[in-house]
Structure 1
Amino acid sequence: MDHNIQIERSTNLKSKPDESKLGFGQYYTDHMFILEYTEGQGWHSGRVVPYQNISMDPAAKVFHYGQTVFEGMKAYRTENGIKLFRPKKNFERLNRSNARLSIPQIDEDIAYNGLIELLNVDRDWIPSTEGTSLYIRPFIIATEAALGVNPSQNYLFMIIMSPVGAYYAEGVNPVKIHVESEYVRAVAGGVGEAKTAGNYAAGLNAQEQAKEHGYSQVLWLDGVHRRYIEEVGSMNVFFKINGVVHTPMLNGSILDGITRNSVITLLKYWGVPVEERRISVEELVEAHNKGELEEAFGTGTAAVISPIGELSYHGEKFVINNGEIGEISGKVYDTITGIQTGKVEDPFGWVVGLDS
């Protein structure tokens, strides 16, 4: 692989958006990173270029067979410089998704170095207002123009970046979640554990229906028994029941979330009992009715922690912790965001400085 990264700076820089009105994924920085893959040559031609449209053949395989994977991470402006949160874990997971989608493994070092070069070029885009960050979206698409149903021989790996505020309009306030019992997101043996576009497209219908009824997201059940908890929309999910924190175990259809892993590590570090296991929706209902369902929250890069204040299942509503953020949810959120922004000690070595 060619490890040289060329840099072409834009001559038409954009105006920076108002940091108090960023929303999520609405604005994009001046530059992007591109790396190409050609069968027989491997990954090559890494470069930082002005943010721009890309031209593709209508027969490109990504359009027809969905051969694409992506990641999500963030950069933060802190008092001690620009910081990233466990970025190499994202590139490790990207390669696990690549393996499932028959996409060639990417050199994680060149992907990481490409990100660092891009961040250095666009570092002025990293916002400084409380609660903001620079969202980073690495992704790979299949570009070979051929309609045969087989893996592409050509790919593009790209990184784009967007200054963002809170993912949910509610911010860190509890959200209402609908337990989805009609549609299925994924099953073990499929691509549920890969971060690929089809997983998210499959959830849009249920998500839109939930929003029509006032719910922020859906809680997915397993695709076989339709009773075991899997994920909340684009997040992993945790429940505190009678003093113990529970989260669905990784089973081949659940994304191995980096925030999920960080939360489990933190809870164990604090001595909080945490279990990774199979959890049924009936168990949640029973725990709620007994007054033992004390907290629930989703975890993910975009929102970090999203407390759940209400669940809806088969027409019944189950309010959790009086619809308020719980003690564990709040502590986890404050600690992870504190570590990310340099305000809280990082005992795990999770934070990486841009210039380190």
Structure 2
Amino acid sequence: MERAGIDGFVYQGPVRVSPIGTHALYEGQARFIQLQFLSFALEDAPNLAGWRQKGMLDGEYGEAFDAFLEITGAVPSEIDDPAVALFMLILDIAINPSRGFPIQIESFENFLIDVDAGIRFVRLCQAARDEKQVLSLITEYSFTQYAEAADILTSSCGYDHPLAVIEHIVEWQEHSPVAKLMEEKRGFTYDLSNIVVRVMSSHFLAFCDDKLSRPEFFCWPGAWMTGARASQDITNLFLKHLSLFTDKADDDGIFPRAIPGVSEENAVKTLTAFYANVINYDLVRQWILSDGPFNYEFGWLTSKHSKEDMTNSTKQAFQHAFGASPDSFTYTWAEVK
């Protein structure tokens, strides 16, 4: 690609940068999920101008939405306007690229356009501007409208349809190693090798399973968790995908959540092995990137053990993984000239 002179691949050459960054996209998505929930739950909820006046769209929280309005020319006044729902769908598609993972790269020349979330967002907004019917399409927050609007947008941009991408991932479970991993997840009986990857991968696959059948919920959860659309099934779906581990109001440590069908013993065992590996990863990061002795400040994990106990157990885990104690390292500093 560099020899071909393709922009973005040439050393010190021009790089195409989106005016909207990923941070603004994620903050915009989170804020509008919150505003949807509040607007559908409150009888006297403010309109968009009211929320803006309260500062809810200041800075990064409204940056992506303002760009959407500028590009599409949409002028919604209420949170339940179809254009707002479309904005949230565009965010959903933009921050979930497909080429490289899980689908093979077909055009390396267009790879940056295919995967850069900000570029994807701008192009999808331009598609909405050109395909004006999509601006008024989403009125019911339904599966059908999600699929139809996504088809219009992705077809215009040459992107993969989000449901086709998820279906591709779900099909992996037909292969025996992945099927075995999902069986481990069901009872939290994870093989301890590469447990961080195993836990996160299995829950990603489970998430994709549910998003394939209910993409409308994951795109517009605020619209589905209150009012007429709310149901026990929706509550169960929300609870199913909560974080596995949490803290407590009176304790800064990390604890496993109570998960239906999972014994406390297995949950604690998984938590312990998971964070033991996370700490090892941090030590490896220090090993590669930091000068001087290792830092054993892991008080964020638990307040029930002293720093000395945490340091000793951390060193033991490191030695078990690499066959050498951190205490055996010799530290040298090269003179900087």
TM-score strictly above 0.5: no
Structure with higher Rg: it is 2
Higher strand share: 1
**TM-score, normalised via structure 2 length:** 0.26
Higher RCO (CA < 8 A, seq sep 6+): 1
Higher helix share: 2
**TM-score, normalised via structure 1 length:** 0.25
